[in-house]
Amino acid sequence: MPPRLSRLLPKGRFARRLAALSGATLIAQGLVVASSPVLTRLYSPTEFGVFTVFQAFIGIAGPIMALRFEFAIPVSRGRRAADGVMGIAFATIAAMSILFGLALWLGGTSLLRLGASEALVPYVWLLWLGLTLFGLTLPLIYRTIRDAQFRRNGLSLIGQFGGQTILHLGLGLAGAGALGLIVGYLTGYLIRFAWLATLFSKAGWRRLGVQRLRFLRLLARRHWRYPAFSSFSTLLQGFSQFLPAVFLAAFFGPAAAGWFGLGQRLLTVPVRILGQATSHAFLAEAKGLDRADLYRLFVRTTTRFFLLGLLGGLPLILFSPPLFAFLFGEAWRTAGVMVQVLVPLHLMRFTLVPVSQVLNVLDRQGLDLLISFGITIALLGSFASSGLLGLSIITTVAVYAGASCLAYALGLGLVWYTSRAKANEQAAGASSGR
């Protein structure tokens, strides 16, 4: 590796943890990328569009199934507290699953039609299954982070995407259409949950079953900020990442969502997953640092990942439209144009997502909610204005990308300011104590 490039990469224990997660991410995403030229010839843009909107609903609601109590697992003091928070998370997931099931039973079909997502009506109960599977993996993933089992976490990710890819290919050859894409997607989450559940010790499962209710109430009160702030912040982040596909389907039809979905498959999804891997490693590293060291870790990580993202994004800005037409067929050229326009947004998201864990470490979840609110306002404002002006597909995507990119940049500035202020407070306190 060239010396200049190697200097951009993180070093030490953080690097080893990141390598375990991001290496598995690259392998898993490599399976998805390698299969995409075949899948785009087995499934039409419209079928991909239905699947993309399905993914959007899971991506928005799935991460809040535990109301973000899983965030407290890595930072819990002692095994008993970690077990207790896991128990709270699983109980919350069960309650949320019941609530979503009732909502879909009572009005799911009407809500989908109202939201211009009528194509999902036949798969309404698969939405419930997807949300439940997504939620059940969350406490197990964060327990592996607490226990520094990054290799196991990474292998479960490979199993998820490997199983998903195999089923997508097989069901595509069988002509299963959008249902085949949805079933493959859900099976991937089932594989990951089963893998992590098997790896969690039998003694651990027994401990979860004997938690005292009084102790669980104490833990829930201690970590109230996660459901109060982080869950709403996560919901808003889900809106910013996945609502564009829903809006594009509503404005321009399922094929537009299909083009956007292919771009997500090849760019948004790897950026999001690699960002999550970095975020997990960053959180595991940051939780034991003082404020000055945390600020230095923030600056190093931000700088390196911005430069790495810029290095990876430049070829897509220059060549993605003809590259997409060559690899996936001429029907998918528009997806390449969308990716070309969206690269700056993904660069800012890739940079912000990992280091935003600083706000969790500093117990400033309210600021994280504020950032997510700003990003959501940028999303809604850009699509509302584009719809009122009757802009074309690409112009609409460009307006969305520009507004969201600015919102992410402002959010990154707020995290920097907060981290720097806490480091300065610590330095001032140390000086006055001498």
Could you tell me if residue 100 is inside a domain? yes
Q: How high is the pLDDT of residue 18?
A: 58
Mean pLDDT of 11-21: 57
Confidence band for 1, pLDDT divided at 50, 70 and 90? very low
Integer Cα distance of 20 and 152 in angstroms: 9
Could you tell me if residue 434 is inside a domain? no
Note the pLDDT tens digit of each residue in 395-407: 999 999 999 999 9
Give how far Cα 428 sits from Cα of 93, 299, 358, 419, 422, Å: 43, 20, 20, 14, 10
Mean pLDDT of 276-288: 70
CB atoms within 10 A of CB 1: 8
Note the pLDDT tens digit of each residue in 260-270: 989 887 876 66
Token pair 């070829």 in the structure block, residue: 315
User: What is residue 159's DSSP assignment?
Assistant: H
**Of 383 and 353, the one with more pLDDT:** 383
Q: How high is the pLDDT of residue 112?
A: 73
Least confident of 24-33, 198-207, 233-242, 264-273: 264-273
Helix (H, G, I), strand (E, B) or coil at 391: coil
Confidence band for 432, pLDDT divided at 50, 70 and 90? low
Confidence band for 428, pLDDT divided at 50, 70 and 90? confident
Note the pLDDT tens digit of each residue in 320-355: 999 999 999 999 999 999 999 999 998 998 888 888
Confidence band for 94, pLDDT divided at 50, 70 and 90? very high
Could you tell me if residue 331 is inside a domain? yes
Mean pLDDT of 290-301: 87
Provide the domain limits for residue 266: 3-429
Integer Cα distance of 8 and 44 in angstroms: 40
Q: How high is the pLDDT of residue 406?
A: 96
Q: How high is the pLDDT of residue 274?
A: 67
* pLDDT greater than 60 at residue 231: yes
Strand (E) or helix (H) holding 300? helix 291-328
Residue 134, Cβ density class (10 Å: 0-12 exposed, 13-18 middle, ≥19 buried) = buried
**Of 297 and 5, the one with more pLDDT:** 297
Mean pLDDT of 131-153: 90
Least confident of 169-183, 267-281, 319-333, 377-391: 267-281
Strand (E) or helix (H) holding 81? helix 79-114
Could you tell me if residue 230 is inside a domain? yes
Least confident of 15-24, 187-196, 215-224, 393-402: 15-24
Integer Cα distance of 59 and 398 in angstroms: 22
Could you tell me if residue 402 is inside a domain? yes
**Of 416 and 117, the one with more pLDDT:** 416
* pLDDT greater than 80 at residue 8: no
Q: How many domains does the chain have?
A: 1
Q: How high is the pLDDT of residue 12?
A: 55
**Mean pLDDT over each residue of the chain, to the nearest integer:** 87
* pLDDT greater than 50 at residue 150: yes
